[in-house]
Amino acid sequence: MAERLTAAGLNVLAIERGGWRDTPNTFATTFDQDELRYMWRHHQFENVAHDTLTFRNNIGQVALPMRRLGSFLPGTGVGGAGVHWNGQVWRFLPKDFAVRSHNLARYGKSAIAEDMTVEDFPVSYDELEPHYDTFEYLCGISGKAGNLNGTIQPGGNPFEGWRSREYPNPPLDMTYGPTLFAKAAAEAGYHPFVHPAANMSRAYTNPLGAQLGECTYCGFCEKFGCGNYSKASPQTTILPILMRRPNFTLLTNCEVTKIELDSGRTRATGVTYVDEKGQTQFQGAETVMLTAYILHNVRLLLTSGIGKPYDPRTGTGVIGKNYAYQITSSVNVFYDDKIVNPFIGAGALGMIIDDFNGDNFDHSGLGFIGGGYIGVVNTGARPIETHPTPDGIPNWGSAWKKSIAANYLKTVSIATHGAVMSHRGNYLDLDPTYTDAYGRPLLRMTFDFTDNEHRMSDYLTDRATDVARRMGGREVQAKKRAGSYSIVPYQTTHNTGGAIMGDNPRTSAVNRYLQSWDVSNLFVQGASAYPQNAGYNPTGTLAALAYWSADAFLNRYQKSPGPLVHA
């Protein structure tokens, strides 16, 4: 966003809660691959002693603070979670933008339960296509197109929406585990393809002139910065250019605590922030772009009194509405005779099938909508994190150790990565009890998986198991996601919703250009805008939405400031 705005000649001041981070100083190759420090001791993640959220599964419970990160791992510092992501870059399916209307049309009224508050995106895939493209070229995505301007391409994902051109870089070299999966999936009649990756298959210079290096498959993407300049991140794709621009200013270690409004409460005057010395400051602005992580976007709207907070009892209000997530499961294949060297990895190095994503398959009689992708992604099998053991092995002790030693090199793990639809009872609001270091109420998350998610995830896990059985291993172990959502074990940092986009201010927080319905000089970027989550990693779509929003801001709003949509 700042890159687009400064390129257009606007003065941009960015305020970042954390500190400055860059490749040579913050994650140099000489110390970056340190699983204990970064993954387990959270050196690049949010500090929950400073700020956290409270959590409960439903409104009948009392929410308690999350005192240790678990299920999701938001970042802190310049670059945010874009530093420690895997680089899995997807486009949503065209029909993912029309979840309500498409499912109603195809399956009838009963397809969408009464409490399922899914909506269509107020923007179409076709409208976002050029912006997806911009982001993929910015990041130098390695991949293989499956649908070039409507023509299906061999080797790519035949289910994907049309794309105007090929990926900027060829696919990564594939390792053994994903190859075994792809072969079995093809034999089962599915359509395996290579995972699109923000890990460079070759040296790349992006359209802004930033340079990225060839990935060496070290296996430290997820939860780590990249010291080789091989993973697209703000540090490798935009910051080198942005920091040279005289009309860009960055404040670090400054935390925005409130968006300030004028007396009419329809216009933002700027923001209040706490600076490095702990002093409260005001920064005036013509326009405020709210670009924090989704949880902070929603909380800032709530603490600033912008928009009507959502009430799950009445279904009224918009801020905090339609919080969603993703549901994952796995199926392990244990071999005796195959060494798959899982430590050779990259964040998005894998083979995928999309046959059960979105509405790529007939849901008649299945009792759920939505889907997800299934695949083997070798992110690196870091040693502390990765200890595959078959069923029946104890969780500790010498038998456990022996089993890990026997299986570490000979296990392939298939993952399913499923959508979470929005539900009336899943939402975000302010906690009535707990406060952060500044005395502000913590965000309260109320969330659980519903029957739709469990049916869908079980269905995906069964399909993954079908493929697993064809892979020729000694034994197959399916790990379904059972029971209520737990915030403790890591699942995925794919939180969405809470400030959703829509076509009218009664049901959504922002319009199709991510402009606040209530405060027209406030734009709320990020996955907080998703009316529900899809079966893909959200970064590609949120980036496309940011470019789409920037485009509208520069080409329309700048010429005539005011609401871009009249509802």
Partner 1 sequence: MKRATAIAGLLCVAALATLVAPALTQAQQGASSSGELAVRGKYLAILGDCASCHTSKDGAAYAGGRGLNSGFGIIYSANITPDRETGIGNWSADQFYRAMHKGLAADDSHLYPAFPYPYFTHMTRADDDALYAYLRTVPAVHAQPPPNKLPFPLSIRGLMAIWNALYFSEGAYKPDPAQSAEWNRGAYIVTGPGHCGGCHTPKNFLMADENDRTLSGSPIDNWFAADLSGESRAGLASWTAADIEEYLKNGRNARATASGSMQEVIGLSTGRMEDGNRAAIAAYLKALPPSAPAKQSSAPDPAAMRAGEAIFADACSSCHLSQGRGQPRLFPPLAGSAPVQSHDATTVLHIILQGSHSLATDDKPTPLAMPAFAWKLNDRQIADVATYIRNSWGNQASSVDAADVRELRNDLAKASGN
Exactly one of 148, 174, 241, 478 binds partner 1 (CB under 8 A); that residue is 241
Judged by CB under 8 A, which stretch of 204-212, 312-320, 331-339, 363-371 contacts partner 1?
A: 204-212
Sites for partner 1 among residues 15-44 (CB under 8 A): 22-24, 28-30
| Burial class, 565, CB count within 10 angstroms (exposed 0-12 / middle 13-18 / buried 19+) | middle
| 553 contacts: CB under 8 Å, gap ≥ 6 | 5, 287, 513, 523
Q: Does 425 bind partner 1 (CB under 8 A)?
A: no
CA distances from 519 to 4, 24, 258, 528 (A): 22, 40, 14, 17
Q: Does 110 bind partner 1 (CB under 8 A)?
A: no
Judged by CB under 8 A, which stretch of 118-126, 226-234, 289-297, 428-436 contacts partner 1?
A: 226-234
Exactly one of 67, 244, 313, 566 binds partner 1 (CB under 8 A); that residue is 244
23/532 with CB nearer partner 1 = 23
Q: Does 52 bind partner 1 (CB under 8 A)?
A: no
User: By rule CB under 8 A, what string of x and - marks binding of each residue 205-224 to partner 1?
Assistant: ---xxxx-xx-x-x------
219/538 with CB nearer partner 1 = 219
Query: Exposed e or buried b for every residue in 8-43, given b needs 16+ CB within 10 A?
Result: eebebebbbbbeebbbeebbeeeebbebeebbeebb
Closest CA to 524 of 556, 562, 498: 498
Q: 305 phi and psi, to 5 degrees?
A: 70, 30
What type of residue sits at position 422?
S
Q: Which one is catalytic: 84, 296, 494, 566? A: 494
> From the CB of 131, what's the least distance to partner 1, in Å?
23
Look up 417 and say whether it is catalytic: no
Q: Does 199 bind partner 1 (CB under 8 A)?
A: no
Rounded to whole angstroms, the Cα distance separating 401 from 388 reads 10
> From the CB of 380, what's the least distance to partner 1, in Å?
14
Q: Does 234 bind partner 1 (CB under 8 A)?
A: no
30/279 with CB nearer partner 1 = 30
Rounded to whole angstroms, the Cα distance separating 39 from 21 reads 17
> From the CB of 29, what's the least distance to partner 1, in Å?
6
How many residues bind partner 1, per CB under 8 A?
23
213/305 with CB nearer partner 1 = 213
Query: Exposed e or buried b for every residue in 242-263, given b needs 16+ CB within 10 A?
Result: beeeeebebbbebbbbbbbbee
Q: Does 240 bind partner 1 (CB under 8 A)?
A: yes
Exactly one of 236, 411, 457, 525 binds partner 1 (CB under 8 A); that residue is 236
> From the CB of 234, what's the least distance to partner 1, in Å?
12
Find the farthest-apart pair of alpha carbons in the chain and give their distance in angstroms, rounded: 72
Query: What is the DSSP code (8-state) at residue 343?
Result: T
Write out the residues near partner 1 by the rule CB under 8 A: 22-24, 28-30, 203, 208-211, 213-214, 216, 218, 227-229, 236, 240-241, 244, 246
Give me the active site residues, please. Answer: 494
